[in-house]
Amino acid sequence: MALRDSSLLNRDRQLGPGTPSLPGGKRSIVLSPPPDRPDNASAVLRAEPQICDPYYTEAERLDRLTQFRSTAGLLIVAVVLFQIVACTGYIQSPTPPTPPPPTINSDLACPTMIPDQATNICPRLKNITLTCGGNGMLHTSVGGGSGKPFLLGVKLDNGSVLSAVLVTQLALCQDGPREGVTLGVTYTGQVSIPPTGPPCISTSKAVYPQFDFGDPHFDIFKDLAQDTMHQTLDDQAITSFASAFGLAAPAMSRCSFWHEMP
């Protein structure tokens, strides 16, 4: 007992007379940040343990505090390094927009064997022929694809001639005179490819920069002649498309849900 009291006395002397006392007469040391450190010091310093065990010497307390600060410093360095590594990984540059598929252009022979209009309508056109202007060819194009609808283009140069025998009510729906119209046309059609069955034209339009009857009196047949030309281009466009892609040609070029393109 005397040895223990002597040891405690020595520690008490080391602690000094100004050290706060714990219950039972024991004294403790509470370490706090230096007075020149601001109140909003780092979280690590605020988290420093208050080492107040009276059985540690001041040197032991300082050693433990140094160990704690070293460990906290290593943790901070580890967090900073993790953030640097996480932020300096491979950053993929923005993917450039996918360019549209190239348009396929080709010239085809001018259409022949254009069918007569149905005989149960009057007026109507029959014995229809077409002469292509320019270089005498039908200019076609195929665009779209790669997830987008196929768009077919057809162009007849100005100076092309559509000729037909007019079956009119004036002639009691009998054959009338042959009349020609000089025209130019730009056609656009969209292809629909159903899961089963051949492709067809779902929507299309024909724009006429030129459409002149030889005899202005027959201008009353303008809508009829333009509808015939439009149907002919639908037929020609889908037939050429099916042939180019090795598909079966449809019996009817227009889909059952066909509508005129705006």
pLDDT tens digits for 21-31?
Answer: 444 444 444 44
Mean pLDDT over 197-222 rounds to 94
* CA–CA separation, 250 and 108 (whole Å): 19
pLDDT tens digits for 108-142?
Answer: 999 998 999 998 888 999 999 999 999 999 999 99
pLDDT of 77 higher than 70 = no
Task: Please give the pLDDT value at position 186.
Answer: 98
Start-end of H helices in the chain: 2-15, 43-46, 58-87, 222-244
Task: Please give the pLDDT value at position 135.
Answer: 96
* CA–CA separation, 159 and 45 (whole Å): 92
**Shortest CA distance to 202 belongs to which of 211, 189, 215?**
189
Range from 62-66, 122-126, 218-222, 251-255 carrying the lowest mean pLDDT: 62-66
Task: Please give the pLDDT value at position 28.
Answer: 46
Mean pLDDT over 37-49 rounds to 46
